[in-house]
């Protein structure tokens, strides 16, 4: 069942990526290509969705941003261990997003600090312990995907 879900999700993402760029009119009346606009996650009031897939595991994140403050949700869908699902709240400091992840896993409520480095349209999750050591070199890459 999970394999079918991941397969369908990957096909959907490929179809979205292969679609032709859309044209939008900006306030000056000129046409802008949506694939070339410089929409940053820190723009005023925006929503961004991200996904990380590794084998049979996936992580989904929704980020609602207002200026440099964010809130949203984070859901770890793990293959052979319990899932976790919860909310995130935090703030951008430069190109790094620091959030507190408040979640339920194995019937227990937990809270942990997470850090994500913004690179282009992607976010890279830190593997460091809380804010003390931020190691993004081997972190999980979260791809920006359309919000459904």
Buried/exposed 22-49: b ≥16 CB within 10 Å, e otherwise: eeeeeeeeeeeeeeeeeeebbeeeeebb
pLDDT at 3 (0 to 100): 46
pLDDT in tens, the chain (148 residues): 444 433 443 333 333 334 433 444 444 444 444 443 344 554 478 999 999 999 999 999 999 999 889 999 999 998 888 889 999 999 999 999 999 999 998 889 999 999 999 999 999 998 766 555 677 888 899 999 999 8
Q: State how far Cα 18 lies from the chain centre.
A: 20
pTM of this prediction? Answer: 0.67
pLDDT at 148 (0 to 100): 84
The helices-and-strands tally (H runs, E runs) of the chain is 1, 10
How is residue 37 written in tokens?
């606009």
**Which part of the chain has CATH 2.40.128?**
40-145
- Classify domain 40-145 by CATH number: 2.40.128
pLDDT at 5 (0 to 100): 39
Q: Which ranges constitute the DSSP H helices of the chain?
A: 2-18
């Amino acid at each position: 069942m999970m394999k079918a879900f991941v397969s369908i999700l990957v096909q959907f993402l490929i179809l979205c990526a292969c679609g032709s760029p859309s044209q939008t009119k900006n306030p000056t009346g000129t046409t802008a290509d949506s694939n070339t606009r410089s929409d940053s996650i820190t723009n005023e009031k925006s929503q961004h969705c991200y996904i990380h897939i590794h084998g049979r595991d996936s992580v989904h994140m929704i980020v609602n941003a207002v200026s440099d403050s964010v809130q949203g949700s984070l859901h770890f869908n793990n293959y052979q261990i319990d899932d976790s699902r919860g909310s995130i709240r935090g703030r951008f400091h430069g190109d790094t997003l620091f959030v507190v992840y408040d979640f339920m896993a194995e019937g227990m409520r937990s809270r942990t600090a997470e850090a994500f480095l913004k690179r282009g349209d992607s976010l890279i999750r830190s593997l460091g312990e809380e804010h003390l050591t931020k190691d993004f070199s081997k972190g999980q890459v979260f791809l920006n995907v359309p919000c459904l």
